[in-house]
Amino acid sequence: MKHQDIRDKIHLTYLSLVTSQDASTINVRKLAEAAGIARSTFYIYFDNIEQLVIDIENEFLYQFEKIYKQHIRCPLTAPEHFEVIQKMICFLKENYHTFLILCGSQGSNSFVIKLVNTLKVLLVKKLNYLHIEYSEVQLTFAATGFMSVIDFLDTEKNTKEIAQEYFDLFIHLFD
């Protein structure tokens, strides 16, 4: 098995286990057994369960960031900007279960802060590229405002409707 495949298997096994039991009861022995790997294999990739959780968070944030960076140079009102917001929301919808785990007691205490900070960094890059002046208040509101999108992920609203609401908020903030 490839390095990435084993790492992904460990990630998925942990995410599966935390849906059926308290995260504090999951240890390396249980995880390795459930994943069908030796404990020594786990230790090749991670020092402990906490490091595994941080790695899952970092992978989630990396995939999220990768989506936004695709259109970082397009104007705020461009259809491409709307499309990237829609892709980000689609990513969150597709990974809603993982998102809830990382935000809950099974994740680190700092995941939501990391996500908001990732959004802020991406917004700063975009706004600077577009030469749009902004205040820290606008930036914080936009980043934390995006977090309100999460409230809609488990509703009947479709991805396009959710994206439109955030897109409109974003345009008004930096217009």
- Which domains are delineated in the chain? 1-46 (1.10.10), 53-174 (1.10.357)
Closest CA to 15 of 116, 115, 107: 107
Confidence (pTM): 0.84
pLDDT digits (tens, 9 = 90+) for 58-112: 999 999 999 988 878 888 788 888 888 888 888 988 998 898 889 876 666 688 8
* Spatial separation of the C-alpha atoms in residues 99 and 13, rounded to whole Å: 15
Q: What share of residues in the chain are helix, strand, coil (percent, to 5)?
A: 75, 0, 25
* Spatial separation of the C-alpha atoms in residues 158 and 156, rounded to whole Å: 6
Closest CA to 70 of 82, 59, 53, 52: 82
pLDDT digits (tens, 9 = 90+) for 113-162: 888 889 899 889 888 988 989 898 888 888 877 777 777 776 777 778 87
